[in-house]
Amino acid sequence: MEEAVTSPKKGIANKMLDLVEKIGNKLPDPAVLFALLMFFVWFASWYFSGVSFSELDPRTGSAIQIKNLLEASALTDFMANMVHTFVTFPPLGVVLVAMLGLGVAEYTGYINAGLRAILSVTPKMLLTPVLVGVGVLSHVAVDAGYVLVIPLGAVIFYAAGRHPLAGIAAAFAGVSGGFSATFFVPSSLDPLLAGLTEVSARLSSDPAAADIVINPLNNYYFTTASTFLVIIIGWILTDKFIEPRLKKTQVDADEADLPKMENLLASERKGLVWATVAMMLSLVLLVVSAIPETSAWRAPGGEITDSAAPLMKSIVAIIFVFFLIPGVVYGYVAKTANNHREIVKGMSKSMSGMGYYIVMAFFCALFIYSFGQSNLGALLAIKGANWLKAMDFHMSITLVGIVFLSAFVNLLVGSASAKWALIGAVMVPMLMELGISPDLTQAAYRVGDSSSNIVTPLLPYFPLIVVFCQKYVKSTGIGTLVALMLPYSIAMIILWTLFLLGFWAFDIPLGIGSNYTFPVGN
């Protein structure tokens, strides 16, 4: 007679994770969440439209007044402007244009071949830092890191005689934990977040915010420097802490069933060389054309980093071109795209993958439009700013609060853009009232969001990572993966926050066209 199998008792940590997963799963889809929030704003505007507030609206000089969005004229204006509100939503166009170029580079195999080439020539002693760095670099292809770099991490670690789960952990730390880092090359996340930040900043009651423009590279210096921090954290934790703990965890899969790292074919190598040369020539041409004082890339005064400079306005278009050119060259040389129809197919495939984002952007645009029209955002910003002034918190404490708030919300809402649309619509204008720039608020959000990515079961790719682990250790579950990644998460949220505070303390520019302060009342 077989003995009854009893389930092991869950510890406090696992119970808390189960609770987070349960609450998060009960939340509606982000698109529906934005629709519900929009209706909430409508009814809140109706309720508060008859309330008198003492706070002054800097735009008018009189007491702030909530506009009733359920009035007939407001509803007809909403319907009449619906299409315009959606198509002029800043994050929509910038993401779609950038993805057209990235889609070609991914479809033809240029990005895949490049990542494999880097990992195949990496010395054994540098395997961990290079793997983490490649994970960060993979962001240029949006989610390619999850389906390419993470399983490759296990393969190359196992081939090197190291524990495959350590390879998965290191790659996961780079791909997801370092999601807001950028390895010299801007990712599609940069223009996406900057667009949402710009929309949120314009909700401010300060007259100077009406026409504010946020540069897509406003956090570029900080996120590029952050790459090295993420690599160091991933390197030390993997080699000195994670892998030693895994020594007792036996690989119990059949070796014949384990995936192997495929070598680059001759055609792939040739395509990779010519595509990279094409990208470098494009970069040289851009730099040479921008150097002269009279360059058309510069603003009228000769400044090249000014937000009015054509070069700064062309960042998204440049991302499109810089990935389109090598993607096309690779496709033709490696024979993965033999004609122009294949190139168009690559663009179409990238757009088909953006269907969900477009739906979410539609409802997000309508929610933010309603939030701004109602004046509720301005009221919350002024009241929140007044409360923070009364509490007299040091700016560093405020920034730490943003980081941890973002990390907590990330445990419940998986989408990076959805989280920032929710948090940013209140936090950005509120902190602008205190003189804190949207650029700095966005940077703090990015730190909190990335740091908790690797421990939330609600990350869309989390179950996939568990499957990758089970190929080597069959007993791996969600709790196993969370326990594996928790040290990375804790180290990142502490050290990355200190890193941001260091940037601020030494007044190191966050990015191109960025500021730490916002001129209140100007």
Tell me, what's the pLDDT at 5?
Answer: 41
Phi-psi region of 513 (alpha: psi -120 to 50; beta: other; left: phi over 0): left
> Higher model confidence: residue 112 or residue 508?
508
The string of pLDDT tens digits covering residues 153-182 is: 887 888 778 898 999 999 999 988 888 888
d(CA 464, CA 387): 44
69, HSE (Cβ side, Cα atoms, 13 Å): 20
The reply to whether 57 falls in a domain is: no
Tell me, what's the pLDDT at 276?
Answer: 92
Tell me, what's the pLDDT at 109?
Answer: 85
Average pLDDT over residues 117-131: 83
The reply to whether 131 falls in a domain is: yes
The reply to whether 25 falls in a domain is: no
d(CA 326, CA 233): 32
Of the candidates 233, 241, 227, 237, the residue with the CA atom closest to the CA atom of residue 133: 227
Tell me, what's the pLDDT at 446?
Answer: 93
d(CA 205, CA 375): 8
Helices (H), 261-354: 266-290, 310-313, 315-333, 340-352
Reported pTM: 0.68
The reply to whether 19 falls in a domain is: no
Indicate the pLDDT class of residue 510, thresholds 50, 70 and 90: very high
Tell me, what's the pLDDT at 171?
Answer: 92
Average pLDDT of every residue of the chain: 82
- In total, the chain counts a number of residues equal to 522
Q: Which helix (H) or strand (E) holds 505?
A: helix 478-505
d(CA 90, CA 194): 9
Q: For the chain, how many structural domains are there in total?
A: 1
Residues whose CB falls within 8 Å of the CB of residue 355, separated by 6 or more in sequence, listed in order: none
Tell me, what's the pLDDT at 6?
Answer: 46
Q: What is the distance, to the nearest Å, from the Cα of residue 217 to the centroid of all Cα atoms in its chain?
A: 13
Average pLDDT over residues 445-462: 81
Tell me, what's the pLDDT at 271?
Answer: 92
154-163, 282-291, 465-474 — most confident range: 282-291
Q: Which two tokens stand for residue 210?
A: 């009406």
The reply to whether 10 falls in a domain is: no
Residue 338 lies in domain: 40-45+66-505
Q: Which two tokens stand for residue 12?
A: 């406090």
The reply to whether 3 falls in a domain is: no
Q: Where are the beta strands (DSSP E) in 344-488?
A: none
> Higher model confidence: residue 477 or residue 452?
452
Concatenate the DSSP letters of all residues of 105-123 into one string.
HHHHTHHHHHHHHHHHT--
Q: Which two tokens stand for residue 292?
A: 């002269």
Torsion of CA 354, 418, 29, 413, to 10 degrees: 120
d(CA 100, CA 47): 44
The reply to whether 59 falls in a domain is: no
The reply to whether 30 falls in a domain is: no
Tell me, what's the pLDDT at 3?
Answer: 44
d(CA 149, CA 157): 12
**437 neighbors 204 (Cβ within 8 angstroms):** no
